[in-house]
Amino acid sequence: MATLDAGVRTGRMLIYRHSLTVRLSHWVNVLCMTVLLFSGLQIFNAHPALYWGQYGGDGDPSFISIQATEDGGQASGLTHIGPLTFDTTGILGVSEVDGEADARAFPSWLTLPSYQDLAGGRRWHFFFAWLFVINGLVYFVSGLVTRHFRRDLLPARDELTAAHIGREIADHARLRFPKGPEARHYNTLQKLAYVAVIFLLLPLMILTGLTMSPGFNAIAPWLVDVFGGRQSARTLHFLAAFSLVAFVAVHIAMVVLSGVFNNLRSMITGYYAIR
């Protein structure tokens, strides 16, 4: 009561916004996704090309590829996306290590381990992939039991109108964030983004990852056909992973713009300040 009274006097009040399960699963996801990204790029570097279909390689055209070329003793990095080719020297294909050109799809500072080690990257990737799945299952079961999904993430019918969504897009473009009672809950754009990630993007990434596993193919061979082949699954896995990276980048930007301290406190202690 004392905290509430003090909050009323100062025009500021702390509300309990995130449960312990949500907070713990969030930080475990941060750890897992970081390791999965860096180790996944290490795995990709072993064959930096993506195909569509069952096989790939052996002269089949790639959908995306990153390669190093040399012309007159000068190394260049080239990134191919469909029929388009981009010179990405210094970023992708060829990067500088200790003053020398290093022919690698992704630079050493973005991979785990930093040196070329496919086996090491796979061990890091597989361990944290299963930790990521287990953490996701705990979060999902908790969300069903506590009705977190229905209460906090699923938009109400009146929030899905074109006028309401358009207004929120305009407010975000002007960096006008919810205040007062409206800040007690996620806005519609947040809800739609979280629902898309939790129920579409993450399951796609997990299933395509399992599709690339020969051991899991023995249990569910039909999964390869669902995604149109192992190489198609690899391409979808890569695209889903980078879609998740894009989501995280936007998420971090919104956290910074709407108040770093307040947002971090809510994800550490559960309490969020509103006026």
Would you state the pLDDT for residue 128? 96
Q: Could you read off the pLDDT tens digit of each residue along the chain, which spans 275 residues?
A: 444 444 444 567 888 888 999 999 999 999 999 999 999 999 999 999 999 877 766 667 888 999 988 877 788 899 999 889 999 988 899 887 777 778 899 999 999 999 889 999 999 999 999 999 999 999 999 999 988 888 888 888 888 899 989 998 898 888 888 777 777 788 889 899 999 999 999 999 999 999 998 888 888 889 999 998 889 999 999 999 999 999 999 999 989 988 899 999 999 999 988 87
Q: How many other CB atoms are found less than 10 A from the CB of residue 15?
A: 15
Check residue 177 and give its pLDDT.
Answer: 83
1.20.1530.20, 1.20.950.20, 3.20.20.80, 3.30.930.10: which CATH number matches 2-48+107-274? 1.20.950.20
Q: Give one DSSP letter per residue of 116-136, joined into a string.
A: S-HHHHHHHHHHHHHHHHHHH
pLDDT confidence of residue 30: 95
pTM of the model: 0.87
Q: What pLDDT is recorded for position 185?
A: 82
Task: Using alpha carbons, select from 171, 152, 150, 139 the residue that is nearest to residue 32.
Answer: 139
The CA distance from 274 to 258, in Å, is 12
First-to-final CA distance of the chain: 17
Query: Which of 61, 106, 84, 67 is CA-nearest to residue 238?
Result: 106
Per-residue pLDDT, 3: 45
CA dist 85 and 66 (Å) reads: 10
Helix (H, G, I), strand (E, B) or coil at 10: helix
pLDDT score, position 62: 87
| pLDDT reported for residue 59 | 62
List the domain boundaries for the chain. Answer: 2-48+107-274, 51-105
CB-based burial label for 166 (10 Å; 0-12, 13-18, 19+): exposed
